[in-house]
Amino acid sequence: MRSTKTTLRNLPYRLVLRFGRRFNLRGVKLVIVGQNKQKAELLREKMDSALNLIQANSPKFWGRVQKFIPNILIFGAHPYYAVYISEVMLCDIDEKYAASETTEPASLAMTLIHEATHGYLEQRGLAYEEKQRARIEHICVGAEAAFASRIPGSDNLVREAQSRFNYSAEHWTDEAFIQRDLDQIKSLGAPRWLQRLAAYLHNRRTRRAVRREETGGAALDREGK
């Protein structure tokens, strides 16, 4: 899913990577937050199986995972299965998704490949900007499908990946991302003052985006200093 480079926003990730429950899996650091020892061990085993699938079936994608997501976090205070955090080279996976009985190691492996591909594309200069976001996501889904096709008896996994090609371009707009974040805050039972603050920041960001389009970026320069 999406990536971010904002240093302040990523400070909690840096702290979690340093102080969370850590495991070393095949040279990749796994950090699990907020789980007891038994559940953390189950998640560790599941993630190790996912990494093993990648390592055994695709040297190309295994190298991509090692290079671009050497840090994997199972936490996920966001409305996505996973997100890629480029500044700390991290894949943050939603705990409910990772722990679900319906999420097999192969599906986790595909998720990791998807997020590692975000890092690969970013290194090649393809920034995660709104105008090319749908294209980037299609490339990442294509990587998932390519990997799934290497696993014996994987027709269902290939179909699972290909179904994600059906998202419209509007699904990847800034407006859609912000609305999903607002819905997530509400679903978590956040107090009304926090919901109102999030809505205010959303509206403010929208107004700034409109002014930026109207002035060719001058508004961003003035307000962004």
Structural tokens at position 87 = 């500044």
Predicted pLDDT at 60: 97
Q: State pLDDT tens for residues 64-90.
A: 999 999 999 998 767 788 989 888 899
Residues 82, 92: contact at Cβ < 8 Å? yes
Say which range, 30-44, 91-105, 152-166, has the weakest mean pLDDT: 152-166
Query: Quick one: pLDDT band at residue 146, thresholds 50, 70, 90?
Result: very high
Query: Quick one: pLDDT band at residue 109, thresholds 50, 70, 90?
Result: very high
Q: What is the mean pLDDT of residues 162-181?
A: 78
Predicted pLDDT at 175: 78
Considering the entire predicted model, what is its pTM? 0.77
CA 17, CA 143: separation in Å to the nearest integer? 27
Predicted pLDDT at 193: 52
Q: Which helix (H) or strand (E) holds 23?
A: strand 21-25
Alpha helix segments (H runs only) across 11-132: 11-19, 37-57, 59-68, 95-99, 105-123
Q: What is the mean pLDDT of residues 121-146?
A: 92
CA 35, CA 46: separation in Å to the nearest integer? 14
Predicted pLDDT at 144: 95
Is 60 exceeded by the pLDDT of residue 33?
Answer: yes
Query: Quick one: pLDDT band at residue 153, thresholds 50, 70, 90?
Result: confident
Is 80 exceeded by the pLDDT of residue 190?
Answer: no
CA 186, CA 202: separation in Å to the nearest integer? 14
Predicted pLDDT at 178: 73
Predicted pLDDT at 213: 35
